[in-house]
Each structure stands twice: as structure tokens, then as C-alpha cells.
Structure 1
Amino acid sequence: MSTTSVALIADQLLLVERALRVQGWWEASAPSAEALASVEPFCVDTLDFSQWLQWIFLPRMKAIIEAGAELPAVSGILPMAEQVYGAGSREAAELLKALGDFDKLISAGR
């Protein structure tokens, strides 16, 4: 993946974080180690989706980018977000757009 593509993805991750903060879904304290250690997809048994984005997804993507490691070949986070918030949610519109754009950038890089 080109340096430009990686930079665009990094910028998109900042927009995901911004959307979480704007909605007041950004938390100051991390969930328990047990909650973060869930093996279920999206930690659905222990975390809210916004918590999963903040404490699992964003840190993992940042680590991948900083290490220069291979980014995922595909991303399907938007459908999960639409399931959680509703596809037409006005409250989550900024977050849904940011996640949809992230999915597109990941797919475009392949």
C-alpha cells in the first residue's frame, strides 16, 4: 500500500476518533482488562461498540500503521455500526460516514 494511502487511512482514523468525541462517546477510563480480553467479535459480550472502537480498533490500527505492517485487506466495520446505531441514525451520522469512508479506503488499497 502506498504511503499516501496509509496517510489517508491514518487521517480517517482521526475522523473516527473525532466523531466519537463529538458524540460524547469517548471515555476517559479504559474498561477492565477482562472486558478488553473478550474473544467475541467486536467484544459484543463485554463492550459497547463505541468502546470497542476506542479501546480495541483504533489502538490496533494505529499500531499496524506505526509498525509499517500489512493493513487488513478488507474492512466491514460500517455494517456493524449500522446494526448498532441504525443505518439512518442522525445521532451517529458522522461516525457512520467516517467508518464507511474507512472501509472504502481499506478496500481501495487492494
Structure 2
Amino acid sequence: MTQLIQQKLQLIEQMLKKHDLWSAQTPTTEQLSSTTPFAYDVMPFEQWLQFIFIPKIQFLIDSEQALPSSMSISPMAEHVWGQQAQLEPLIELLKATDTLFND
């Protein structure tokens, strides 16, 4: 399962880059320390995916720690990007990622 999750993480990164949502600038330590869900108070959702979600899941895989047993990030993606048809494949990818963690 970890291999499938890593593939999803790579696809998320590729899609963020494809749609120019990949940031070259790292958020500040304060931004990265946000306790608000999806850090929405200090950064856009795509930065949360890039700088918090992907690295955290990759760290858990690399250190052979338990992965979350449930996840629901696609509703936030739908909320943020739902009116942007070009981002529908990215939303669907996040739905598939949620499913992997929830099965």
C-alpha cells in the first residue's frame, strides 16, 4: 500500500506543477506551524499539499510509522478549486488518495 501512496504523492506533485500551483518559495516557520486545518489561515491549499501534506506522509512512509487510517482532503480541494474545471483531475486524484487511506 505504501508504494501506491507514494505514487499518488508523486502524481499530486506533478499535477500541482502542471497547473502552476507548485511554489518555489517555502513558507515561514510560523506558517508551517499553523494548527488550523489545512493551514488555511496562513497559506493556500496547494502550499499545504506541497509543504505539509506530501512531506508528512513521505516522512511517515520513510520512517515506517503508521499512516493515517482515514483522511478527507478532497472536500477541501472541491471547496477551493471546485469552480476550476481544469483542476478536476487533481480533485479526482485527491479523492483517490483519500480512498486509499480510508479502505
SS in 2 for 1:91: helix
Tell me the number of residue pairs that the alignment of Structure 1 and Structure 2 aligns: 103
The residue number in structure 1 matching 2:90 is 95
Query: What CA deviation, in whole Å up to 9, does each residue of 1:44-97 have, x standing for no partner?
Result: 1100000000000000000001011111011100011101111x6312112111
What stretches of structure 1 of length at least 5 have no aligned partner?
none
- Paired AA for residue 105 in structure 1: L
Give the partner amino acid of 2:75: P
Q: Distance in 1 between matches of 2:67 and 2:97?
A: 12
Shift of 1:41: 0.7
Matched, 1:85 2:81: yes
CA distance in 2 between counterparts of 1:51 and 1:91 reads 18
Q: What is the percentage of aligned positions where both structures have the same residue? A: 36
Please point out which of 82, 99, 102 is paired with 1:104: 99
Q: Unmatched 5+ residue regions in structure 2?
A: none
Normalising by structure 1, what TM-score?
0.89
Pairing 1:35-46 to 2, within 5 Å after superposition: 35-46=31-42
CA RMSD, Structure 1 to Structure 2 (Å) = 1.1
Q: Which runs of 4+ in 1 moved over 3 A?
A: none
Distance 1:47 1:76 in 2: 19
Which structure ranks higher in relative contact order (CA pairs < 8 Å, sequence separation ≥ 6)? 1
Superposed counterparts of 1:1-110, under 5 Å: 5-86=1-82, 89-108=84-103
CA distance in 1, matches of 2:22, 2:90: 12
The code of the aligned residue for 1:17 comes to: E
Q: Aligned partners of 1:105, 1:43: CA distance in 2, in Å? A: 23
